[in-house]
Homo-oligomer: A and B are copies of this chain.
Amino acid sequence: MISADWIAVDWGTSSLRAWAVGKDGIVAEASSSDGMSTLDRDGFEPVLLSLVGDWLGDAVTPVIACGMVGARQGWAEAPYVPVPCPPMVADGCITVAAGDPRIDVRIIPGLSQDAPADVMRGEETQIAGFLASEPGFSWTICLPGTHTKWVQVGAGRITRFQTMMTGELFALLFRHSVLRHSVGGAAWDDDAFIAAVRDGNANPDRLAGELFALRAEDLLHGLAPASARARLSGLLIGAELAAASFDGGDVAVIGAASLGQHYATGLSVIGRKARIIDGAGITLAGLTQAWHALEGTFA
């Protein structure tokens, strides 16, 4: 018998994760692949109830969600809050009109930047979770992923940010382009990655040509797939590091183990120190920040 004070939900484009949180922390958790992109507006509540129904009692259970669930194509739109602002803006949370009286659902807003135009949804909650444990952190946070975010933080606020499509470019080139014939497999060549980061960083303008050279190197000189794959990643990350705005100081890299490690390696290649923050607990820590801010607003 689960007894949850509230339920935390991380609902992204391709998956969904929920935690039942009690007085002493997590009492249950569950996940599914019913991401935002697979659902119509009416599909969100049934999916949530099928996942967390067993955690609900007679009283109303607060639910706090972050991520693409709050996008225009999500369950309900939580309008972007413009930066500069703190990563967690309680006033910007919206209440969802759920049909089931056992839940009271709130969605955390994403953040926007007017010029250069940019948006994030979900990462703001990770940043709030990170800053909860390191309130004095300044400078740059990097959140690698499909759309990598580079975020400038100071005095507990996000001042500006920048999204790079590096991860999506890698996936498209790896799976769908002519390079797929040359980069197959999961093997990895560290030296090729490091050399490519250096090349991509020194000459980011040559990217479109360097990419085809991977295919030509394979055809003419038998480039190994592990080297081609690492070089593809390194060229893209190197070019990204040339474009990313850094303030001074170390970079905190928040993210999945191997991708976070590649970014940290890339940063060291260009002479920057990075520390890797495990992303696993960070989102729940951010949702918990929202709970503290919103607790009094639940009936």
Instruction: List the interface of chain A (C-beta within 8 A of B).
Output: 72, 80, 112-114, 116-119, 147, 162-166, 168-169, 172-173, 176-178, 204-209, 211-213, 215-217, 219-221, 236, 239-240, 242-244
Contact = CB atoms under 8 A, between A and B. Distances in A.
A220 B147 contact: no
A140 to B, nearest CB: 15
Given A172-B173, A178-B168, A209 B112 contact: no
Closest 6 pairs between A and B when the two form their complex, measured CB to CB: A204-B205, A117-B216, A164-B208, A163-B212, A172-B172, A117-B217
B242 A205 contact: yes
B177 A176 contact: no
Interface of A is mostly: helix
A213 B116 CA distance: 7
A177 B163 contact: no
Contacts of A147: 178, 212
Given A165-B208, A176-B176, 20 more contacts: A112-B220, A114-B220, A116-B216, A117-B217, A117-B220, A117-B221, A119-B219, A163-B212, A164-B209, A165-B211, A165-B212, A168-B177, A169-B169, A172-B177, A204-B205, A204-B207, A205-B239, A207-B239, A208-B236, A208-B239
B162 A209 contact: yes
B220 A163 contact: no
Which of A80, A162, A243 has the most chain B CB atoms inside 10 A of its CB?
A243
A271 B45 CA distance: 57
Contacts of A244: 209
Contact of A208 (B177, B206, B215, B240): B240
A61 to B, nearest CB: 32
B205 A164 contact: no
Contacts of A117: 213, 216-217, 219-221
A163 B208 CA distance: 8
A208 B243 CA distance: 8
Contacts of A212: 118, 147, 163-165
Contacts of A113: 216
A268 B295 CA distance: 61
Given A168-B177, A172-B173, A176-B172, A118 B208 contact: no
Contact of A216 (B119, B204, B236, B239): B119
